[in-house]
Amino acid sequence: MQRDGACVNPRWYEDAFGEAYEIIYAHRSVEAAEPEARFAVETLRLGRSDLMLDLGCGTGRHLVHLFKHAGACVGLDYSPALLRRARNVLPQEVGLVRADMRAIPLTSAFTAVTSFFTSFGYFLDREENLRVVQEVARVLRPGGRFLIDHANATHVERALEPEGTRRHGSFEIRETRWIDAATRRVNKTTRLFRDGRELERTEESVQLYSQTELRSLLAEAGLRVEAVYGDYEGSPLDDARPRMLMIGCKA
Ligand SMILES: C[S@@+](CC[C@H](N)C(=O)[O-])C[C@H]1O[C@@H](n2cnc3c(N)ncnc32)[C@H](O)[C@@H]1O
């Protein structure tokens, strides 16, 4: 479905990741994150000498696995609700920071940075999204590695379901999705109901990138892509694959 020019709150990400996130995205669990974290450990060759940052760490579901491999881990997120949850599931030695990914309040000590499950492309302005990857480059040591897991634009455009209703326990989740062709953003409105009463309504809006566009944004920030995959099994990127996983290093 395409709906040109539909209005999106530019600061949608401030409201979209609250207490209800874990109901709406219950399937994005610690268990589901295990093969994804394993893939990151293998492709980034994470080991005890690594200091890694998970950008947009949410509830910490990847860090639960990653901290067992890396020397030290830090998670950064903007959502107090998700960071509280992360603090409950992660050991104390994993650092957690509340900050905006466009201004990471950390120094250039990291040897690896991860960004899982479409935690990128949130800002309406190209320069703001560029600033995020520039921050990734700044906090990485020379030669440091990164993994960015973004939605595969061509797959989203082919497979987008405009409407969907799901249940989670006593909750009903109704989602409406559309692509704004003018901006090439995929937008979603999620409404959460219980006993027929609407509890919450959130919006999401994510920039879609072709492989060439994302590579060039990363290159502009000084990040060199070394491998691209279409899923966490290491399949090559093609139109049928749901993800666009970019792995590389600070040039
Ligand atoms: C789609 S969720 C993914 C979370 C986690 N990576 C996962 O796989 O479960 C995106 C995450 O980005 C965080 N986020 C949104 N806007 C942010 C911002 N401006 N700065 C830092 N984190 C932000 C959200 O709070 C949320 O935890």
Q: Does the residue 129 lie in any domain?
A: yes
- Residue 176 class from Cβ within 10 Å (0-12 exposed, 13-18 middle, 19+ buried)? middle
Atom of ligand 1 at shortest range from CA of 33: 8
Domain check: are 161 and 147 in the same one? no
Residue 8 — pLDDT band, cuts 50, 70, 90? confident
Task: List the structure tokens of 167.
Answer: 């249940």
Pocket flag, ligand 1, residue 229 (CB < 6 Å): no
Domain check: are 47 and 131 in the same one? yes
- The per-residue pLDDT for range 115-168, each reduced to its tens digit, is 999 999 999 999 999 999 999 999 999 999 999 999 999 999 999 999 999 999
Q: Does the residue 6 lie in any domain?
A: no
Atom of ligand 1 at shortest range from CA of 28: 9
Report the pLDDT value the prediction gives residue 7, as an integer from 0 to 100.
Answer: 63
Q: Does the residue 77 lie in any domain?
A: yes
Report the pLDDT value the prediction gives residue 4, as an integer from 0 to 100.
Answer: 46
**209: Cβ–Cβ under 8 A, 6 or more apart, which residues?**
121, 150, 153, 217, 244
Domain check: are 67 and 173 in the same one? no
Distance 30 CA to ligand 1 centre (A): 15
Domain check: are 181 and 228 in the same one? no
Place of tokens 């530019």: 10
Domain check: are 88 and 110 in the same one? yes
- The per-residue pLDDT for range 16-39, each reduced to its tens digit, is 999 999 999 989 999 999 999 999
Q: Does the residue 7 lie in any domain?
A: no
How many structural domains compose the chain?
2
Q: Does the residue 3 lie in any domain?
A: no
Q: Does the residue 229 lie in any domain?
A: yes
Pocket test for ligand 1, best of 13, 89, 90 (most atoms within 8 A of CB): 13
Atom of ligand 1 at shortest range from CA of 117: 8
Q: Does the residue 5 lie in any domain?
A: no
CA distances from 47 to 81, 184, 239 (A): 30, 38, 33
Q: Does the residue 67 lie in any domain?
A: yes
What mean pLDDT, rounded, does the chain reach?
95
Pocket flag, ligand 1, residue 110 (CB < 6 Å): no
Domain check: are 240 and 186 in the same one? no
Ligand 1, atom 15, residue with closest C-alpha: 13
Pocket flag, ligand 1, residue 21 (CB < 6 Å): no
Domain check: are 201 and 223 in the same one? no
Which domain range does residue 165 map to? 155-205
